[in-house]
Structure 1
Amino acid sequence: MSNLSFPRPRQSEVGERLRTEVREFLDDFDWRGDPHAASAFGGFDPEFSEALGARGWIGMGFPKSYGGGGYGLVERYAVLEELLAARAPISAHSVADRQSGQLLLRFGSERQREEILPGIAAGKSYFCIGMSEPDSGSDLASVRTRATKVDGGWLVNGAKIWTTNAHRSHYMILLCRTSPSSQERHAGLSQFLVDMKTPGIVCRPIVNIAGVEDFNEVHLQDAFLPDEALIGVEGDGWKQVTSELAFERSGPERFLSHLSVLEEFVRVLKSQPSAVGTRALGRLVAHLVTLRRMSRSVATMIADGQDAALHAALVKDLGTCFEQEIPEILRLALQAEPDPHAADSYRAALAYVVLNAPSCTIRGGTKEVLRSIVAKGLGLR
């Protein structure tokens, strides 16, 4: 059985200084966010994204030659954590900043990096993720979207689902099959940089239970992608996408999505103290602190160039469990019915969380797939 350990997170004086700067920026900038937003990213606000880009707080790990801040991933983590804690509206640029830019930096061609990374760093280029498919879900090895080689490029046919902000994104990182499947399920997959204005691409919105239209089903019918759209090496898509998922699965958005309802719970508990409420809060805070420690450890591993896919999957699974147990624990600890239209801010925040908690399972992979990854990594299967 493999050993699994989470190294001590790296401390950064620069990161702690940036925390103060971010808090001052949020106090001074006239931004509008939903104070009870259950989304991990607080809202879609292009003006806010561009303001962050102007401060060098997007693409922080990019080299300065590509418009980045020249910081490390540990410093980026500090900035992101502050933004998430404030429910700042960073949804527009979040995917590009978190993983798409990092993928292009690692596997993209020089042309792709020069053309795309500066726009991401400026907060003006938005990305969506073309991984999950209808009837496949988190089983990425079973994708059926196919890219067929033609003169000068590829013709793509297939569909993607749960594609957040696809209707507002400029680009998609698309995972599809470029050669027939073999006994090795992970073989024959490739990634492409897709301009969302490409003819043959249609986005169909999916309205979630909370009434929010951020998910999409994306259909590609004879969509032509030029040769230079290929990211990395043809057939290396599985290796590339698993490295990308380490960024998606391990960040602070995996345990801070529902921080607003915890803050509201503390406010109510101060005026209505109870032993049950105190125990519930202690349990949740203990889980929160532990997840934060693990998440920061993964950020350190990635910054050091280590393979953190297994660790990231574990953080994502535990984070999903934590965020989905929050409304259940709080409802038992305090007699208050959730109501999104309530004047009471606690009941409104609780309603947002109850309606959005199911989506935590979709983001970054289902529990079943994540636990399969962990079991395989530990030599248990």
Structure 2
Amino acid sequence: MSFSALDFRAVHLPPSVGQLRQEVRAFLAAERAAGTVLGRPDSWLTGWDPEFSRRLAQRGWVGMTLPRAYGGGGRSTLERHVVLEELLAAGAPVSAHWVADRQAGPTILRHGTEAQRNRFLPRIAAGTCFFSIGMSEKESGSDLASVRTRAERTADGWRLTGTKMWTGGAHVNDHAIVLARTEDAADRHAGLSQFLVDLRDPRVHVEPIRLLSGEHTFNSCRLDGVELADDALLGRPGEGWQQVTGELALERGGPERFLSTLPLLTALVAEVRRAGGGGPEQEARVGRLTARLASLRQLSLGVAAASAAGRPADVQAALVKDLGTRFEGDLVNEVREILPTAARSDATPGSFPELLATAILHAPGYTLRGGTNEILRGIITRGLELSR
């Protein structure tokens, strides 16, 4: 029996990416020496450093797959994947440009007008335009078809009203791609549209939702009758659901879904070595974690290759996120058992106790953001049923 929805094909990185990987590592070594890279867990979510993002962009490592005509690098998806792996493994502060690079840019390229592409894509590739995601709401997290935010037609465009939740970076970013209902329909997946919203509009009210660590990353974002011109519509009216589905494949299948806690594993190995090396049981447990990591990496590369080839990858991406985010949490628990250490948020930044504290406090979010695992398993199950 064949399940085409889980068509993970073997991916072998071309030898040419070896030089790229070494270039990224040399750049990160210099940044580490300068104190800008501290090996942070979850750095793609909380490591907001626009100057670091601009330095990456100057080397062509932001907007890598965007066409050169729009300021991008015109490089392959697998080349971009290699750069992401190195940045995440180093715990580099990449959250400023992450969403713009991962999904806003490709979505605007695919669905935007020529004017929208010329307005946003060169700035995204330059690391000077940062995006948030305006999908989730208070009672519409993973069930996006139930969103209540509405966009009503006006004489000059649209009026946007509603509240978005868990809007990462809305307090510091420039724009958000907002999903809203533009018409009522019997099929609740119909009648949805996406809009490009200026987060500095005075009718956009942002309030913090703090993590357990006290960090301000997420927000409640109230849209109080935001007036939008016609050219704020992204794509065609009523096709927002199809557009969002494509975005979620970009959001769920990347290496950030299993590498968020890799800096902690790296720090663990360094600590064990400093203590004179671990015993057989410690080595076996680290080996099992490493084996899971290697498998997840191959699955994620499969999603990248499928997307690059134009093949549907939403089901594969859901599987990567389900397995990957569970691995991230398991890694934290395993590390605590392999090397019992008092986690301390007030310890020296970058030290093992401080990294452990950060990973523990962030752990509850791993399996929630980007779609809960229960919802993801429903997507996987439906995909398998349809492909039988």
TM bucket, shorter chain:
over 0.9
1:319 counterpart residue number: 324
1:185 counterpart residue number: 188
CA RMSD of aligned residues (A): 1.8
Q: TM-score when scaled to structure 1? A: 0.95
Whole-angstrom CA distance in 1 between matches of 2:358 and 2:341: 14
Matched, 1:174 2:165: no
Q: Name structure 1 gaps, 5 residues minimum.
A: none
Whole-angstrom CA distance in 1 between matches of 2:247 and 2:127: 20
Give 3-state SS (helix, strand or coil) of 2:246's partner: helix
Whole-angstrom CA distance in 2 between matches of 1:10 and 1:282: 22
1:48 to 52, 76, 80: 52
Matched, 1:5 2:7: yes
1:354 counterpart residue number: 360
2:371 to 362, 365, 369: 365
Matched, 1:214 2:217: yes
Whole-angstrom CA distance in 2 between matches of 1:310 and 1:105: 23
Amino acid at match of 1:128: S
Task: Give yes or no for contact 1:41–1:88 (8 Å, CA) kept in 2.
Answer: no
Please report how far the alpha carbon of residue 41 of structure 1 lies from its aligned counterpart in structure 2 after TM superposition: 4.8
Give 3-state SS (helix, strand or coil) of 1:94's partner: helix
1:246 counterpart residue number: 249
The count of aligned residue pairs is 380
Give 3-state SS (helix, strand or coil) of 2:385's partner: coil
Please report how far the alpha carbon of residue 198 of structure 1 lies from its aligned counterpart in structure 2 after TM superposition: 2.2
Task: Give yes or no for contact 1:14–1:75 (8 Å, CA) kept in 2.
Answer: no
Which aligned pairs between 1:1-381 and structure 2 lie closer than 5 A?
A: 2-3=3-4, 4-29=6-31, 30=34, 32-41=36-45, 43-182=47-186, 184-270=187-273, 271=275, 273-342=278-347, 345-379=351-385
Please report how far the alpha carbon of residue 2 of structure 1 lies from its aligned counterpart in structure 2 after TM superposition: 3.5
Consecutive aligned runs of 4 or more in structure 1 exceeding 4 Å deviation: none
Task: Give yes or no for contact 2:182–2:238 (8 Å, CA) kept in 1.
Answer: yes
Amino acid at match of 1:193: L
Kindly provide the CA deviation profile for residues 240-298 of structure 1, in whole angstroms up to 9, marking residues without a partner as x: 01101111111111111111211121123332523332222122111100100000111
Q: TM-score when scaled to structure 2? A: 0.94
Whole-angstrom CA distance in 1 between matches of 2:244 and 2:15: 32
Give 3-state SS (helix, strand or coil) of 1:361's partner: coil
Please report how far the alpha carbon of residue 168 of structure 1 lies from its aligned counterpart in structure 2 after TM superposition: 0.6
Q: Name structure 2 gaps, 5 residues minimum.
A: none
Whole-angstrom CA distance in 2 between matches of 1:39 and 1:231: 29
Identity among equivalent positions (%) equals: 47
Whole-angstrom CA distance in 2 between matches of 1:165 and 1:266: 32
Whole-angstrom CA distance in 2 between matches of 1:62 and 1:327: 35
Task: Give yes or no for contact 1:170–1:197 (8 Å, CA) kept in 2.
Answer: yes
Task: Give yes or no for contact 1:254–1:320 (8 Å, CA) kept in 2.
Answer: yes
Give 3-state SS (helix, strand or coil) of 1:223's partner: strand
Kindly provide the CA deviation profile for residues 196-219 of structure 1, in whole angstroms up to 9, marking residues without a partner as x: 122311110111101100110000
